[in-house]
């Protein structure tokens, strides 16, 4: 079995989509093993997004993630890392496939940051690292 870190980002919490997103995860069959609402700090986000430091979207992304609480979730299940990323859809919500979280609930709001509702770890190593950051 495998674990992944999922975040319902501030846009998802603000729009009261946490329940709808968690319902899809549970309906798919993954188990929620830990969950909490978090007011992320800049320090936490600098660790979480260290791979993106220096990219043009980095600062807007961090500012967005500081704009309100996120819901941090640990999921467990066979191949849950790729399974959740499949549920989430591709990064850009405008073109993410309908049927996915980003495709069904997201769009371009005309802002610098891509508000795309959720985060999911992209590898076993990232998942271990990110779970350690959000559930220290």
Which residues are part of the catalytic machinery?
119
Cα–Cα distance, 132 to 120 (Å, whole number): 14
Do the strands 118-120 and 70-77 form a parallel or antiparallel pair, or are they unpaired?
unpaired
Q: Quick one: 113 or 133, whose CB is closer to ligand GTP?
A: 113
Q: Which residues partner with 5 through β-bridges?
A: 74
Q: Which stretch binds ligand GTP (CB under 6 A): 15-23, 66-74, 111-119, 127-135?
A: 111-119
CB 70 within 8 A of CB 8: yes
Tokens of 23: 């319902």
Q: Quick one: 77 or 120, whose CB is closer to ligand GTP?
A: 120
Q: Which stretch binds ligand GTP (CB under 6 A): 15-23, 26-34, 74-82, 115-123?
A: 115-123
Q: Which stretch binds ligand GTP (CB under 6 A): 22-30, 37-45, 71-79, 116-124?
A: 116-124
Among 5, 8, 21, 61, binds ligand GTP (CB under 6 A): 61
CB 73 within 8 A of CB 18: no
Among 91, 94, 95, 123, binds ligand GTP (CB under 6 A): 91
66 contributes a contact to ligand GTP by CB under 6 A: no
CB 91 within 8 A of CB 42: no
Cα–Cα distance, 101 to 115 (Å, whole number): 12
Cα–Cα distance, 105 to 13 (Å, whole number): 12
Among 4, 18, 100, 116, binds ligand GTP (CB under 6 A): 116
109 contributes a contact to ligand GTP by CB under 6 A: no
């Amino acid at each position: 079995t495998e674990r992944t870190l999922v975040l319902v980002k501030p846009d998802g919490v603000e729009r009261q989509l946490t329940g709808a997103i968690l319902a899809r995860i549970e309906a798919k069959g993954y188990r929620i093993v830990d969950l909490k609402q978090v007011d992320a700090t800049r320090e936490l986000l600098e660790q979480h997004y260290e791979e993106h430091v220096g990219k043009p979207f980095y600062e807007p992304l961090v500012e967005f993630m500081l704009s309100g609480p996120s819901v941090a979730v640990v999921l467990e299940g066979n191949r849950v890392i790729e399974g959740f990323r499949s549920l989430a859809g591709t990064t850009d919500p405008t073109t993410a496939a309908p049927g996915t979280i980003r495709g069904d609930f997201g769009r371009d709001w005309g802002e610098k940051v891509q508000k795309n509702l959720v985060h999911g770890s992209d590898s076993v190593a990232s998942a271990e690292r990110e779970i350690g950051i959000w559930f220290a």
